[in-house]
Structure 1
Amino acid sequence: MGGIAMITLKNDYLTVKINPLGAELTSVKDNESGLEYMWQADKAYWGRHAPILFPIVGRLQDNQYRLNGETYHMTQHGFARDREFTIIDQTDTQVSLELTADDETKALYPQDFILTLSYELVDHQLKVNATVTNPTDEAMVFSFGAHPGFNVPFGGALADFTDYNVTVSPKQTYQRVPLVGPYSDTKHSVPLDLHQPLSLKHDLFDHDAQVLTLDNHETTVMLSTPSDDHGIALTVAAPYLGIWSPYPKQAPFVCLEPWWGLADDVQATGDLETKVAIQKLAGKDSFKASYQITYF
């Protein structure tokens, strides 16, 4: 880990590990059974656990964008996932970490920012809160997202990938944003009936993620199997939620991803200020995002 000490949070039910590199959640274990819920970053499939996506979500066309007349280059999901955060507050069950702009980030993204991530264990639930603060008087534009990956099957489970379901509540028909290659096609959203659970199959992801439009309504997405009593439930009020597993790899994990942003649209102009689903923050203002994951 390059000498960076892992952060451990623990209560009566769960033990959680977080890496200050990227403020990344790397492990959630059930204390009684030792069951591991989080994907363990096997590079044969995907070498990350739960990266934080900032200041973009997804991919930019040609990995570049324009802001204030200048062109900048930035790779998929931005740089926060590869930067070391500073611990600003920690107890046995809670930690807050912070990332601020510096010369390296400004070469990729010229805006000043303070990105704070906090994780708090409460019984069987992990509460995750993010704040993006604009410390300047000038408006800023950005996207934010989370990308937690969960073992399927969960560690020690007897079930197979295809025994698992994704249940979305409220049960309704959602608008799904198709992806054309890595880009969003927001003008051609299609209905996805989720009155019934979505049965997991690897080819569900043959066109990349399933991207649901949530319109900031509180939504709970549960990953579980009839084969045992274990699962996770992620609750969030975000504009979008991605469900992803790499295809054609037969990868034993699924990501449930709350997004306050999208990959560039197929018709993107390259201008960050008019990017699809971009967040805008006035000078001295703050943006807040949160979600909760319950482990059972």
Structure 2
Amino acid sequence: MPELPEVETTKNGIAPHILNQTIERIEIRQPKLRWPIPDDVAHKLPGQVIRHVTRRGKYIGVQTDAGTLIIHLGMSGSLYFVAPETPPMFHDHVDIHFAGVDKVLRYTDPRRFGAMLWQEGDWQLHELISHLGPEPLTDGFNVDYLYEKAKGRKQAIKQFIMDSKIVVGVGNIYANEALFMAGIRPTRAAGNISKARLAVFVECIKAVLAAAIAQGGTTLKDFVSGEGKPGYFKQELKVYGRADQPCVTCQAPLKEIRQGQRSTVYCAHCQK
């Protein structure tokens, strides 16, 4: 699943090519994604100029004067550019054509678990977005905030930090990596971790996500950026996907458990 670094990479990849461009038409071949694509997308976007391309959590907002096209990549979705004459493949569901531009922004999604939604006014007030926690790479995500949220919580720290109401975008891959970097065992209760260790954890989350964005995300199956390029952070992974392999720090074999139906890999020696 594309996580925050992959979505940020996609946003950064498409933004320079579509900012200030006029949408000519929307070609919707398959409207039945996770939720049906609203009629407003096809009716209100043509003729609009794209003013901003932003991200909130795993949502991309393509903002115009009429409203915002909200895009979620779901489990397997991606956005990339093709020449107008490029025939669509079976999983290519939406094309966005621009006036006077010799390329089309194409949305493909084999599992159809992504979304294209519409919001007038402030797009971050959409019901799927308004409840989200702070962005992890902003000053709003800091040790004081996390310590207050963690107080009294018996939930395992890995599942706690993956809750988008606590902080957005710390998905399974990056939670594994940040916990390893911070030396925190993923099964520890969030409320039993000292403020000093949480301060380290906050900085590790920021460092891991920033590094992943710089590397273009992590290619695990079929992720590519908005420019059609794969992410390379997989080469930097220290624990995720490395069960039973030696820890890069102490050489002990890494352990794998299931938490919330997700794979967790950690070093029992280095993470306490």
TM-score, length-scaled by structure 1: 0.25
More strand by share: 1
Larger radius of gyration: 2
Higher share of residues assigned helix: 2
When the two structures are superposed, what TM-score results if normalisation uses the length of structure 2?
Answer: 0.27
